[in-house]
A = this chain, B = another copy of it.
Amino acid sequence: MRILGIDPGTKVVGYAVIEIIQGKIVPQIYGAIRASGKENIPERLKQIYQGITEIIQKYHPEVVAIEKVFCGKNIQSAIRIGEGRGVAFLASANAGLAVHEYDATRIKKSVSGIGSAQKYQVQSMVQAILKLPVQPEPADAADALAIAICHYQHSCIPHF
């Protein structure tokens, strides 16, 4: 099973592809798409869409997991968050991939055992789980790895 985890955003989008090989989680790629063009939102969304599409075409994930967002500083920022999510959903749908959403508490709990874990704790736990020589950077990439790991655990253990 190959899982693409996406930590959506309008400027920086974390991504990670993990593969489950004989029950072991093996990261294939992880990193962040950094969209340029500060004020040009359509252009930024185009870069995000293209970036996700390229990862899908290159690493052939079978399913996509994405963080469910409940909060935002205000309505305007929530709309902007939604715009980034919209193109991530679209890139997945256009590749024929199902998308599963997980809320932040569940994602954090799946890697650290604590739903309220801090960003650095998520990074440390992801590093430990995947036996990486260094912490995954940037934090958006670590989050995307955590999202993919969360989907794997969720798909393995019913009612997780």
Contact = CB atoms under 8 A, between A and B. Distances in A.
20 contacts: A42-B92, A42-B93, A42-B98, A43-B93, A45-B86, A46-B90, A46-B93, A49-B90, A75-B75, A76-B78, A79-B79, A79-B81, A79-B82, A80-B82, A81-B82, A82-B84, A83-B83, A83-B86, A83-B89, A84-B86
A92 B99 CA distance: 24
Contact of A86 (B70, B72, B82, B99): B82
A69 interface: yes
Question: SS class of chain A's interface: helix, strand, loop or mixed?
Answer: helix
Nearest to A73: B75
Interface string A55-93: 000000000000001111001101111111111011011
Contacts of A45: 86, 89-90, 93
